[in-house]
Amino acid sequence: MKGIMDKSRQAPLIALALGFTVVISGCASVVPTPLPTATPAAPVHTPTSTEPATPAGPAIVEGGTAKENQPYFDKVNLDFFAANGTGTSLGIVESLAAAGFRKQDMQVTADHTSIDLVADSIIVSVRLKGQCLIGDFQASGYKSIVAPILGTGGCLIGTTVPIQ
């Protein structure tokens, strides 16, 4: 009996081993992996000479109003402020002149007080078509406005720095 029981126990074990072998061999079968196919790149657009160039930012509007030129005035002054902080009065004037604003249309306040302390702010102005662009440089930042010309013909009240 012992021999018969052993064979009866062996049959399920053999069947299990055969089934396991079939399952494992099925996992080991080699299925070729498809190679990725190249997708065509989007065509590169090269602008032709008839297409207008995209401006890099605000630009001076020759003969334009103060309001039309305020974005450019601000860009020039913000670039100056980023590089120099409040800088100096004449440094601000030179920066604006290099950017295309006329010195004869400018006024600027002093960068030092009468007792030679650094001024809290420097104000610069440019007259354009009956209006004034006014920029205010302070340690905390830069701001600007467009304002009417004063009865004196200038934009700033009080003593200003002579501009050569």
Alpha helices in the chain (DSSP H): 2-27, 66-84, 89-98
118 closest CA partner among 95, 86, 144: 86
* Tokens linked to 104: 């004869």
**pLDDT at site 95:** 98
In this prediction, residue 56 has a pLDDT band, given cuts at 50, 70 and 90, of: confident
Residue 51 or residue 158, greater confidence: 158
Is the pLDDT at 1 greater than 80, yes or no? Answer: no
Residue type, 113: T
- 164 secondary structure, DSSP code: -
Residue 85 or residue 44, greater confidence: 85
Return d(Cα 44, Cα 68) in angstroms, integer: 35
Integer distance in angstroms from the first to the last C-alpha of the chain?
125
> b vs e for 105-135, b when ≥16 Cβ sit within 10 Å of the residue's Cβ?
ebbbbebeeeeeeeeeebbbbbbbeebbbbb
**pLDDT at site 161:** 97
Q: Please, are residues 90 and 161 in contact by the beta-carbon 8 Å criterion?
A: yes
Q: What is the pLDDT of residues 20-40, one digit of tens each?
A: 343 334 444 444 445 444 444
Q: What is the pLDDT of residues 111-155, one digit of tens each?
A: 999 999 999 999 999 999 999 999 999 999 999 999 999 999 999
Residue 53 or residue 130, greater confidence: 130
**pLDDT at site 63:** 93
Summarize the confidence of residues 42-58 as an average pLDDT: 58
Q: What is the pLDDT of residues 71-99, one digit of tens each?
A: 999 999 999 999 999 999 999 999 999 99
**Considering Cα of 142, then 147, then 153, then 159, what sign does the dihedral take?**
negative
